[in-house]
Structure 1
Amino acid sequence: MAPITKVEETVQWTGKTVPVYAMETVSFESLLSQEPAEVEKVLRCCETAGFFYLDMRGIDGRRYLEDQQNTIALMKRFFAASLEEKNQYGLVAPHLGYEPVGSRTGVFSDTKDGYEMIKVSRDEIQRDSPHLPEVLKNSADMKTIETSIAGCNIATKTILSALSTAMGLTGAKRFENSHRNARPSSTTLAMMHYIPSPATAQNIGHQKHTDISTLTLLFTEQWGLQIRPPGAKEFGFVRPEPGCAIVNVGDSLRFASGMKFQSCIHRVVPFDPTEHRYSIAYFLRAEDDTMFTDSEGRYITAGQWHDEKFFAFTDSAEGQAMAPPSMLLGGMVEEVDPEELIAPQVIRDVAVEA
């Protein structure tokens, strides 16, 4: 694969000129009808960058955008509640429950993460009495979460089906057959609140990683997401596009594709250190007992990979350094820039340059 060499847009951040990486845009409506050109495009995106925009502004996708607006309103109410209310049950399972700020390592050395998160799994929301904090356990909020999860599931399954078709997979070999709705999985909706983080803060961002998931469907209206596409030598921002979700390939799909797909390395940093940032990520994951070969050559289940990588995320920096390099980065190779490990001295107001 050719390295990413052409950068048409930059932004000033922490006193440096940083790329804004361009990404392909895939039409959700065209994927729904399996239009050949769009099916080939989504395959190309997964084989090269591992990231793309999903345009959901058509009549079929517009309702899912509305679902996310309702979810953001719910999130703002939830995260404004007391820590005692939010953390009523703590982290019930790696894919279910509340994580307070500072539960993981941060984006720079000697820092902790700068976000809190509530996760609701697809399996859990369908139970008669889902395990949720009481502050969320009302019919209106539960309906909002359920509707959001259902819409995200349809969108990601549409992409997965298109990828199966593009790769010529049939019958039991199609990717959808390891993502059946009635089988247990760690598929979850994660709602994240990033706190204001000046340069001197000890809680900053979200460390670099690849996702555990098969596909991640991300909704965010604010800057902060940075990616390092395969072949790129530095992190660059992703511009939030109105009416579009951001989709990226996760480790499980990379493994299932026989390493043909790319799981792009990414992180979240404070773009405006004074703002509260909200994002919604739907992590579509394979059935727990799905088998694949990981980057270490082990034949393991999707459930095992999920749990191992989750606990690596929450380990200390020293513990992460001792883990196999394939764990946090899913086996993706990068050139380490020593400046990435140093907290910036100044985070300034930014202006985008074309």
Structure 2
Amino acid sequence: MPNSHYFDQNPPFPEDVPVLEIPRISFQQLQNANHASSVSMFEACREYGFFLLDLNHSDEGATLLQDAEKMFELITETFALGSETLEKYAYDPPRDLTGYKATGKLKTDDGKLDLMEMYTINQDDIVGNRQARKNADSIEIRRNDIEQFMRHSHAIVAAVQSRLDEQLGIRSGTLSSLNTLEETSDTSVRLLRSQPTPELQDSSITLGGHTDIGTMTLLFNVIGGLQVLPAGNENVLGNWRYIRPRPGCAIINVGDTTVEWTGGLLRSSLHRVIRAPGEQGTVPRQSVAYLVRPCHSASMSRLRGGIIPPLKEGEADETRPVSDWAAWRSKQIISGELKPQTRGGNPIVQG
């Protein structure tokens, strides 16, 4: 996430709130194929579904941090246009999630309406895999900045996936080949903002509990509010834990698609956003997410090899294209047939 000056100009994250102490993994060490760091990252993806990726001491990491600061500028510029202007670029769920989403469009866990504004920018629009979409002026002006953020984020995620390939014991490049920049996909950059709500309780939900449907998410934020429900815990207020933002770090989390591909070895954890804790709840909360989704040409079939468990006798493989599977899951969640919950983290079965 952005460097320390962004943190210094905002109220500090409080010390008296329950925090999930996820591992902090050095990207430089992952680049160098450091075994201990690779193992720690893999175990974090299995136990928590989340980890902090420390981008310091790496040229590629420093570049991405600079890109992220430009995205924070873009958030300010975009939402300053106002909802009346941004509604001209509104999203059309569930068919198309690209574009602007105003607050109050989604139900939260407590049955109320969400408090999060979003603007989603599709990869194919930016890198030229399809005809360009007309976006808000702030985004059109910064197309080059957005493309650089996408390409550098993609390279970081690909390096992380390379270490996961090794730990899973599958062919190098397997995971990254399923979400390339050259093929069409629903990969996107999402700009998010919620306004300060001093009149609300700290437990007020801004964005309801969910898992990410894609392969992996890379998140930059400065203000707290992101919470994870640790696996095995009942979904009650006292069991949720904050993820504390750290200067120079991105938050990485595993998505549902990767859980499917790995036979449930990796974990996709239920998470949400609530009012920022303490004094941080008095300032706007902004974040930018790089949401990695598989290529449209990929399938949901389980990967073979290494420690990935084979299908059990009588167990059917998921053969639908990723787009069909994602649409099916989204429809289930919207209709209430499927309740969002933590998935994966299954024990490794030795052959």
Shared topology, TM-score over 0.5?
A: yes
Matches within 5 A, 1:234-313: 234-271=239-276, 272-292=280-300, 298-311=318-331
Secondary structure of residue in 2 paired with 1:222: coil
Give the corresponding residue for 1:324.
338
2:175 alignment partner in structure 1? 175
Residue 297 of structure 1: how far off its partner (Å): 7.1
Tell me the residue number matched to 1:143: 144
Are the equivalent residues in 2 in contact too, given 1:87–1:133 (CA < 8 A)?
A: no
Q: TM-score, normalised by structure 1?
A: 0.79
How far has the Cα of 1:84 moved from its partner? 2.9
Deviation of the 1:39 alpha carbon = 1.8
Report how far residue 19 of structure 1 moved: 1.8
Q: Extract unaligned runs of 5+ from structure 2.
A: 1-12, 303-314, 346-351
- Distance, in Å, in 2 between the alignment partners of 1:162 and 1:196 is 39
Per-residue deviation, 1:236: 0.9
What SS does the aligned partner of 1:88 have? Answer: helix
The one-letter amino acid paired with 1:23 is I
Q: Give the total of aligned pairs.
A: 308
CA shift for structure 1 position 296: 10
Match for residue 49 of structure 1? 48
Question: Aligned equivalents of 1:210 and 1:103: distance in 2?
Answer: 18
1:102 corresponds to: 104
1:340 match = none
- Distance, in Å, in 2 between the alignment partners of 1:138 and 1:124 is 11
**Deviation string, structure 1 residues 220-260 (Cα, Å, up to 9, x no partner):** 01110011122345101111111111111110111111100
8 Å contact kept, 1:70–1:144: yes
Q: CA 1:118 to 1:288, structure 2 compared with 1: closer, same or farther past 3 Å?
A: same
After superposing the two structures, state which structure 1 stretch, 110-119 or 38-47, moved more: 38-47
Distance 1:310 1:98 in 2: 19
RMSD in angstroms over aligned alpha carbons? Answer: 2.7
Q: TM-score, normalised by structure 2?
A: 0.80
Alpha-carbon deviation of 1:70? 1.0
Map of 1:331-350 to 2, 5 A cutoff? 331=343
1:136 deviation in Å? 2.4
Q: Secondary structure at the match of 2:287?
A: strand
Deviation at 1:278, TM superposition (A): 0.3
The answer as to whether partners of 2:27 and 2:54 remain within 8 angstroms in 1 is: yes
Give the Cα–Cα distance (whole angstroms) in 2 for the partners of residues 23 and 10 of structure 1: 17
What is the CA–CA distance in structure 2 between the aligned matches of 1:10 and 1:270, rounded to whole Å? 13
Contact persistence 2:89–2:99 (CA under 8 A) = yes
CA distance in 2, matches of 1:125, 1:49: 32
Gaps of 5+ in 1: 1-8, 13-17, 334-354
